[in-house]
Amino acid sequence: MSPPNVITIEEHFWTPELSGVGHRQAGAPERLSDMDVLRIREMDEAGIDLQVMSETAPATQNLEPETAVRLARRSNDYLHAAVRAHPDRFAGFATLPTPDPRAAADELERAVTKLGFKGAMIMGLTHGRFLDEKDFWPIFERAAALDVPVYIHPGPPHRAVVEAYYKDFPDLTGAPLGFTVETLTHAVRLIVRGVFDAYPGLKIIVGHLGEALPFLLWRVDNTLKRHTSLARGFADYVRANFYVTTSGAFSNTALACTIAELGVEKILFAVDWPFMSNMPGRKFMDAAPISEKDRALIFGGNARKLLKL
């Protein structure tokens, strides 16, 4: 079997048990439920060889611990069945029951060592708490030990933030602004809290071309030098420990900034299917004003290396 050349790594599904949990974006139920025919047909139309699939938001992040553990395990078994049916087309990121961090670490290990998953995806806050809080560090300890990445995906902003920032502008709560602010804050807090000092080999993935992190990198690095005593420069942590994807961010200028700040080896192709269609993502990367060598790295080379595909 030849290695996949075009790999997308933020592509979603839902399980029957989690399909009714929380707010869901309209227009996607049929595609989120499909684990073979429709999904593969749309992959083929866009020339995508492999999808790395993950349970869509909000997954199990805001459930009670016992329920989260049970449904995360169910989600991972469900995804494993789909991967096993189409091993040349699908791979998986684990759903983790973060309301019980130690159980989440154990489920990550099961998913990687028993099910063959390539890492995990976490959908934003857990009951309003950021993952930099030390209660959650067992997850990062286990991910570092297993040498698999954790993808921090946007989730709904904290209720207090929604009330203060978006009450009069509900359309801004999600992808236009709220998701970016919340996920960017998540990434910055992980660094400032010292997570990467404790686990220097930990790898974190952030979507949407880094949720503005590459654009803000110099300013955050410069100002934090005056206010914190990090062991390394802020930008050093980002460049060493973070990867970003193209999911739902098909902009040549943003891509150029991201390559300039992080290096092309830290960028992975993703679409955000089914909330974004495969074809626009593929056309964006095909036409991006970059070298063919860099295009091949983003399309699949970087993912093959990071995820050991």
Q: Which residues are catalytic?
A: 272
Cα gap 37→298, rounded to integer Å? 26
Neighbours of 116 (CB within 10 A): 13
- Dmax (CA) for the chain in angstroms is 55
Cα gap 57→32, rounded to integer Å? 11
198: Cα separation from own chain's centroid? 21
Q: Which runs of consecutive H residues, i.e. helices, occur in the chain?
A: 29-33, 37-45, 65-85, 101-113, 137-146, 159-161, 178-193, 195-198, 213-227, 234-241, 252-262, 278-287, 292-296, 302-307
Cα gap 93→195, rounded to integer Å? 21
Cα gap 243→264, rounded to integer Å? 10
Cα gap 188→88, rounded to integer Å? 36
> What are residue 260's phi and psi, to 5 degrees?
-65, -35
Token representation of residue 188: 């910055």
User: How many residues are present in the chain?
Assistant: 309
Cα gap 280→246, rounded to integer Å? 11
Cα gap 219→227, rounded to integer Å? 13
